[in-house]
Amino acid sequence: MWRLAIALVIVLGLLIGAGRWLAAHREASQRTADQTPVTTPENSDYYLKDATIYQLTPEGRLAYRAHSVEALHFPDDSARLSDIDVRYVKGTPTYWHLHANKGHVPADQPHSLYLYDGVTGRHPRDNGAMVRLETTHAWVYPDRNLIESDAHVKAFEPGQTVTGDGMRVNLETNKLNLLNNVHVTYAP
């Protein structure tokens, strides 16, 4: 009986020793992890990867959805985005879909989005035809239901191609207007 008591004391001592060793090891590794410096890309104050933003109307309906592979936010409240897709649906019977390789939200215009580097757009018309557009850069103003560009724009629709300098898209009326040096080519 006394041998059993001695064996239990030894086993208990081993278990207590192992528990203390594990706790000390975990605490040491936690200290090391807490001391490892974390940096954000390009001195941003925070960043998001594979982020989707849903903007709702005051009535709770979807106004637009924006997805970015990477979004960097900076201390001045500006943001830089990469590989952006914006699907705008507020007040339109159909949608506007915009894509750009890069984008920027300026600190002084937090409700605006500047898209650049390969901006493309798609919009299905009421008759089923798909309007496509291409430009180097464009501003999206969700609060004003407006897309604008001062760059050269190409707009394609089955049977015609329209080019011009400058563009304004009224998202409430679905009207795309090219502003200057407009040329239309009709194809049979």
87-100 pLDDT, tens digit per residue, is 888 766 788 899 99
**Would you say 168 and 146 are in contact if contact means Cβ atoms under 8 Å apart?**
yes
In a shared domain, residues 76 and 143: yes
> Does one domain contain both 25 and 48?
no
Q: Are residues 114 and 28 in the same domain?
A: no
Q: How far apart are CA 133 and CA 187, in angstroms?
A: 17
Domain span at 10: 1-38
- Residue with the bigger pLDDT between 105 and 1: it is 105
In terms of domains, do 49 and 76 share one? yes
For the segment 176-188, the average pLDDT, to the nearest whole number, is 91
Same domain, 33 and 52: no
**Burial class of residue 66, CB neighbours in 10 A (0-12, 13-18, 19+):** buried
Q: What average pLDDT does this structure show over 9-23? A: 52
When divided into structural domains, the chain yields a total of 2
Q: Are residues 11 and 67 in the same domain?
A: no
136-169 confidence digits (pLDDT tens): 999 998 888 899 999 999 999 999 999 999 999 9
Q: 188 or 38, which is more confident?
A: 188
Per-residue pLDDT of 92-129, as tens digits, reads: 678 889 999 999 989 888 788 999 999 999 999 888 88
Q: Are residues 111 and 174 in the same domain?
A: yes
Residues 23 and 93 in one domain: no
Q: Tell whether 22 and 69 lie within a shared domain.
A: no
Query: Are residues 134 and 50 both part of a single domain?
Result: yes
CATH number of the domain encompassing residue 94: 2.60.450.10
pLDDT at position 94, please? 80
Same domain? For 23 and 83 the reply is: no
Co-location of 32 and 46 in the same domain: no
Mean pLDDT throughout 61-72?
87
Report the 10 Å Cβ neighbour count for 144: 14
Q: What is the pTM of this model?
A: 0.74
pLDDT at residue number 117:
94
> For 26-53, what is each residue's pLDDT tens digit?
666 665 555 556 566 767 888 888 988 8
Asked if residue 88 lies in contact with residue 115, where contact means CB atoms within 8 angstroms, the answer is no
Task: Please tell me the predicted confidence (pLDDT) of residue 5.
Answer: 45
